[in-house]
Amino acid sequence: MTTYTPMIQQYFKIKADYEDAFLFFRLGDFYEMFFNDAIEASNILEITLTSRDGGSADKIPMCGVPFHSAAGYIETLVKKGHKVAICEQTEDPRAAKGIVRREVVKVVTPGTIVDGKTIDANSNHYIGAADQLQDGRYTLAYVDLATGEGKVEVITGDERTLISEIEALGMKEIVVRERLHLVLNDEMSKRDIVLSMEGGELKDENLSIVASIPNDLSVACQTLSNYLKRTQKSSLDHLRPFQYIQKSEKLSIDANSMRNLELVQSIRNGSKEGTLFWLLDETATAMGARKLRSWIHQPLADKDAIENRLALVEDLIKEYFLRDDLVGLLKEVYDLERLTGRISMGSASGRDLAQLRNSLRKVPSLKQSLMDSGLERLQRFSERLDPCEEVLAILEASVAENPPLSIKEGGIIKDGYNDQLDTYRDASRNGKEWLARLERDERDRTGIKSLKIGYNRIFGYYIEITKSNIHLADLERYERKQTLANAERYITAELKETEELILNAESEGTELEYTLFCDVRDTMKKHISRVQQLAGILSELDVLLSFSTVSEKYRFVKPQFHAGRALDIKNGRHPVVEKMMDISLYVPNNCTLTEDANMLLITGPNMSGKSTFMRQVALTVIMAQMGCYVPCEYAKLPVTDQIFTRIGAADDLASGQSTFMMEMMESRYAIGNATEKSLLLFDEIGRGTSTYDGMSLAQAMMEFIHDEIGANTLFSTHYHELTKLDSDLKRLVNVHVAAMEQEGRVVFLHKVMAGAADKSYGIHVAQLAGLPESIVVRAKSLLETFENNEQMTLSNNVTEQMSFFDLKEETEQVGPESLRVIGKICEADLVNMTPMQAMQMIFLWQKELKEIK
């Protein structure tokens, strides 16, 4: 260290506390990076790598970015999973004695970045913290730093269940204590999720944020709070107490199911278009859009709460003109949640305060419109809206109507708010008029018509009187400043005061205005919780209005709920598919699950609509439990606690998992966590392995779900042999998606009908896909051959088996030991055996027969 300059030694000392981050070290108008930081950053940011003399024998690698454009570079680094520590000069270089004092003022991480081109204001940007409880379950706490919204929930299951929830919430960073770091590190890195470790002591000052949750869940919450305070180094007064989300209160949807059902992100390109969110998002505000995403991810699981939302939507559908007025008012409401976040962290501008004021101006009209509806539920909703009169009064008095974005160039504070500021402004704006008026007053007072007021840089402002008129001057008030050949120059106390005002008005006025602005902003911090509460209610209203608009536009109906598990949907539709195609071409379908028959085995050709049918049932359940009307003519539904799907096939290349392995892991997760109140959707289980393996696994799963879980289940398959299970599984019903042949080609009817399908139509689908005709013809020929061979083989096997048991002379040659084994074979209940059990039995029988002499 002694070989480096004092500044580089200062750099090393600061960098030692931020080894896992790029250190943006402020030098004048640039943020500089040195050593390995410079080498890595120059590659990532595609900026020039240079070097400088740092006092050592070798040059020091260095690169830098201008401070005024650093935000874009910081965002690029964070987007790629890195952290950036911002190190500022914390004293005036002109006043510094030696090295300028510097310190890190903020650490920007993938979970704490709140602004930038890649940050979607319509989505929550959560950072989470995980902790393992003594009983093996996990606690997951998460916060959106921009809005202050915090939640905590208990995850029942292994670390895969925890990771699934983390992925479903779209988190980019997870904070853990040391004991969990080793457990999660590999899995998080595979998913490009930053795993940060927080080892600090849990502080009592954080207890207010965990006041309303069970004590054993507080570790994750306080760990996250500690990390945020350590990295942000600013006031976080906008962080709300964590809301405890109990499993019984929500419909749980894991990450796989969210992806398979395309709830918020399209499988094809990752965009919003083609998702349930895209369909339902008619919100007027960014905070409403975020609330909608939250409701999609965590629909309700409480019947009374669901029906309360549905009733509000029903009222809003009836009141078209009211709805139109409310939407118009909400469009003029800014993002109150993010505004309070910026106020709390000290980054709010004058324009932010003006947006807060303009938003609060709309609340009384919103409140009155709801009250004037005359509908009791909407009137009760109106009573929840707090106009925040005190907050509005402060902002009305202090903030200019159209303040600039900059907070240090003036123009933020309204005229009349502060007398001293008004004086400065008046001096700055009207200085020349003041001087002209003073000159007239002095002429009148002295009677000297040639008296004039002038200015030079050396003496400032002065009163000039010719020597012939000096006897008329009031020399008791005048102080001689300069003598000229034919005149004298004087100053007065009033002129000196005016001079100071004029010369210093702009700089001192701007400085005073910044101080006043900071005072107003700090005052707003005291009212953050009220504004946040108002924002939550307004965002809720925004989503309910969106539901009512969408429901009316697409002819949705109000669902009914009951306490059982039966599900009855008449002429249900897939709302997203319907929106994307000609509505007249969409074929609706019924789905009926009764208490005694709640498992559907769905057969039918590829492309016939099996997966769409299954998805539309799941979407109907999700929409209903969000409190939205649903796409059908009638729906009577149970309250579902979880939805699990295994639809589609995709390799997990990052972790080296094959399609079939992923299929089995997702199936295991669903079967291991489902309850009697869950909804299971399995699409063509077992297709990733051999026919008999796949068919055996599919049957075993269906039997287990039927006998052990009892959940509502939709199970599609191409294994027609499984359709015979309806005779053994009492609650299983066969249905099929109809198709017909017309002039040698298949026509998909997209209609779900009772009974099993008679054909797969696979070759017809290949023909539709455009495979060469020669391949299609050859395939048909081979299919005919295979089917004939299979029938011959089956016939021969039956004949052989019958002859084995029927021929008396051969039977008489078999000894008693062999007959005993044959008896076991005849008595074996193969239908109720799993494939593995059957294989074990065959092995034992073989062994016994080989031992018989």
What is the rounded CA–CA span in Å between residue 407 and residue 416? 19
Q: Is 514 left (phi over 0), alpha (psi -120 to 50) or beta?
A: alpha
SS3 251: coil
Tell me the two tokens of residue 676: 């009697």
Cα diameter, the chain: 159
What is the rounded CA–CA span in Å between residue 136 and residue 706? 28
Q: How far is CA 685 from CA 87, 694, 714, 838, in A?
A: 55, 7, 12, 21
Residue 745 host element (H or E): strand 745-754
Residues 6+ apart with CB under 8 A from 324: none
Residue 120: CB atoms within 10 Å: 13
Vertex 103 angle, CA 99 and 108, to 5°: 145
**Any alpha helices (H) in 6-57, and if so which ranges?**
6-15, 35-45
What does DSSP say about strands 634-638 and 642-646: parallel, antiparallel, or unpaired?
Answer: unpaired
What is the rounded CA–CA span in Å between residue 541 and residue 547? 10
Residue 365: CB atoms within 10 Å: 15
SS3 668: helix
What is the rounded CA–CA span in Å between residue 523 and residue 528? 9
What is the rounded CA–CA span in Å between residue 143 and residue 128? 6
Tell me the two tokens of residue 837: 């059990």
**C-alpha dihedral sign at 633, 635, 641, 646:** negative
The DSSP code for 240 is: P
606 labeled binding residue: yes
What is the rounded CA–CA span in Å between residue 646 and residue 54? 59
Residue with tokens 């289940």: 713
What is the rounded CA–CA span in Å between residue 330 and residue 691? 57
Residue with tokens 């005229």: 415
605 labeled binding residue: yes
701 labeled binding residue: no
Residues 6+ apart with CB under 8 A from 638: 561, 562, 563, 564, 565, 566, 567, 677, 712
Residue 51 phi, psi (nearest 5): -150, 165
571 labeled binding residue: no
**Amino acid at residue number 600:** L
Tell me the two tokens of residue 91: 């004293």
As a residue count, the chain comes to 853
SS3 125: coil
Residue with tokens 């042949």: 741
SS3 273: coil
Cβ proximity of 395 and 516 under 8 Å:
no
* Bridge partner list, 679: 643, 712
Cβ proximity of 16 and 7 under 8 Å:
no
611 labeled binding residue: yes
Residue 67 phi, psi (nearest 5): -65, -30
Task: Tally the C-alpha atoms within 13 A of residue 539's C-alpha that lie toward its C-beta.
Answer: 25
* Bridge partner list, 104: 87
Tell me the two tokens of residue 291: 């609330």
581 labeled binding residue: no
744 labeled binding residue: no
Residues 6+ apart with CB under 8 A from 169: 124, 126, 128, 142, 297
CA torsion 31→33→38→43, rounded to 10°?
-20
Distance of CA 183 to the CA centre of its chain: 25
Query: Binding site membership for ATP: which residues?
Result: 604-611
Query: Binding site membership: which residues?
Result: 604-611
